[in-house]
Structure 1
Amino acid sequence: MDFLLYGKKILVTGGTRGIGHGIVLAAARAGADVLTCHRQDGEAVDSLVHALKETDGDHHVIRADVGDTDEIDRLLAEAKDRFGRLDGVVNNAGVISHIPFAELEPDEWARVIDTNLTAAYRVTQQALPLMGRASSVVNIGSRGAAAGIPLRAHYTAAKAGMIGMTRSLAKELGPQGIRVNVVAPGVIETEAFDTMPAERAEGLRATYSKKTALGRLGTVEELAGAVLFLLSDHSAYLTGETINVDGGI
């Protein structure tokens, strides 16, 4: 089964690193025209721009911080100007920090909630006028939302809230033909593993591999495959669901 997205216009937030980078490239290579955003310039942005130039389609990488409501509104205005419509939205942008709950300051709570959850609300809301029947919203959640993770109360709260928002929006937007789902990754091996000391990376691989039924970490391509399925017409009767891409953790 090929998850072909030929002719579809897709917005992916936070698409220059890690999971987002993989989703952007997978969607572009499946035939979609892709618009994505980033918060800071750097080598990762340049690398994605270069890869997209070598991929057929009308692709755009722009700077926009989805933690800022005004920046979100500008991002969606860009989507309207460049594409005129959206067939799919992937709310991927997120931030994380590891802080004991007793030491978690209000500003840090707000930063993580706003970027991981409030941004998904605003991006989806502003995208609605551009979306028609058979459009799809994919929210990138976390397996940790159900499990709970020490030192990440703010992050898991945001990702758990995303599941509730998704269920509600699936019912509210369903009559308009708009589907809304969550993809919840387990431990996915991104380029972040390449930037940490080799001993620590191997330790993490070993620890998390023991926790999964498949005995290994997931790849960005495997995670992107689930997202492409939900963006494609193959999932036309699937909405309000959370798909755990976690290797059976």
Structure 2
Amino acid sequence: MRLDGKKALVTGGARGIGRAIVLDLARAGASVVTCTRQGGEAAQTLVKELQAIGGEHHVATADVTKQEDIDTLVGECERRWGRIDIVVNNAGAISHVPFAELQAEEWHRVVNTGLTATAMVIQRALPLMGQGGSIVNIGSKVATVGIPLRAHYTAAKAGLIGLTRSLTKELGERGIRVNLVAPGPVETEAGVPDEVRERYRRLIALGRMGRPEEIATVVTFLAGDLSAFINGETINVDGGI
């Protein structure tokens, strides 16, 4: 799955699934601009890994809930390349709060980061995209099943499904595809408590949690020409949970 010459923008790319996506796209030959909200060690080590892979890449600090930061981020792509071929919306936020106690501020923080920012990034990037462009939104399996204490997170991820389908209908005539990848439980560097891992082991048909790299390879497939007739799909990558 080669992406030589392709130019990619990935939001939320410093940690976890986002980091795996950035590195997989780069290894496939794409040039990547990505962002992290806080910078720090994760961003610094990502820069070093991208340098080791080679190619033209950039790790920016940006808060995608702020329009001015989105403008700067997309502007960086325009300055470097003059176009964008791939947009991966991975930035998200999560918390665990009983719905009866969920404050409006926390609702807006999670929904704005996971849903509204995705729409705004796509809208801002569209003038730089053309025939053969691919947009991949990172959703979640919970969008269609729900989960306690995460009504705001589930609502944001469910909204991404509708956004993806609507944009599929609007952008198809321009030759731009829009798909969604919905991961199930995934091991990240933050770690998972043993009791949670055991619960997922019983729930997931494959008997284990996923790895970020297993999500990233699906994104890379959707980003390239091998998936040229896949459009408007939600692809669950969940081990059969």
Give TM-score scaled by structure 2 length. Answer: 0.98
Deviations 1:54-94 (A, max 9, x none): 11210000111011122111111111111211110000000
What 5-or-longer segments of structure 2 have no aligned partner? Answer: none
Q: How many aligned residue pairs are there? A: 241
Task: Return the alpha-carbon distance in structure 2 between the equivalents of residues 151 and 63 of structure 1.
Answer: 30
Deviations 1:3-45 (A, max 9, x none): 1111100000000000000000000011000000011121111
Map 1:77-96 onto structure 2 (within 5 A).
77-96=75-94
Q: Partner of 2:237 in structure 1?
A: 245
Q: Partner of 1:131 in structure 2?
A: 129
Task: Return the alpha-carbon distance in structure 2 between the equivalents of residues 173 and 223 of structure 1.
Answer: 25
Once the 2 structures are TM-superposed, how far is the Cα of residue 154 of structure 1 from its aligned partner?
0.5
Question: Identical aligned pairs, as a percentage?
Answer: 61
Once the 2 structures are TM-superposed, how far is the Cα of residue 220 of structure 1 from its aligned partner?
0.9
Match of 2:153 among 144, 152, 155: 155
Q: Partner of 1:226 in structure 2?
A: 218
Q: Partner of 1:174 in structure 2?
A: 172
- SS of the equivalent of 1:209 reads helix
Q: Partner of 2:140 in structure 1?
A: 142
Task: Return the alpha-carbon distance in structure 1 between the equivalents of residues 104 and 196 of structure 2.
Answer: 30
Q: Partner of 1:47 in structure 2?
A: 45
One-letter amino acid of the structure 2 residue matched with residue 222 of structure 1 = E
Task: Return the alpha-carbon distance in structure 2 between the equivalents of residues 107 and 235 of structure 1.
Answer: 39
One-letter amino acid of the structure 1 residue matched with residue 86 of structure 2 = G
The reply on whether 1:207 has 2:205 as its aligned counterpart is: no
Map 1:54-133 onto structure 2 (within 5 A).
54-133=52-131
Task: Return the alpha-carbon distance in structure 2 between the equivalents of residues 41 and 74 of structure 1.
Answer: 16
Judge which range, 41-50 or 200-209, deviates more.
200-209
One-letter amino acid of the structure 1 residue matched with residue 117 of structure 2 = A
Once the 2 structures are TM-superposed, how far is the Cα of residue 148 of structure 1 from its aligned partner?
0.1
What 5-or-longer segments of structure 1 have no aligned partner? Answer: 194-199
Deviations 1:157-214 (A, max 9, x none): 0000000000000011000000000000000111011xxxxxx622222110111111
One-letter amino acid of the structure 1 residue matched with residue 203 of structure 2 = K
Give TM-score scaled by structure 1 length. Answer: 0.95
Task: Return the alpha-carbon distance in structure 2 between the equivalents of residues 84 and 57 of structure 1.
Answer: 17
Q: Partner of 2:8 in structure 1?
A: 10
Task: Return the alpha-carbon distance in structure 2 between the equivalents of residues 100 and 73 of structure 1.
Answer: 35
Task: Return the alpha-carbon distance in structure 2 between the equivalents of residues 70 and 151 of structure 1.
Answer: 32
One-letter amino acid of the structure 1 residue matched with residue 193 of structure 2 = A
One-letter amino acid of the structure 2 residue matched with residue 214 of structure 1 = L
Q: Displaced runs of 4+ in structure 1, greater than 2 A?
A: none
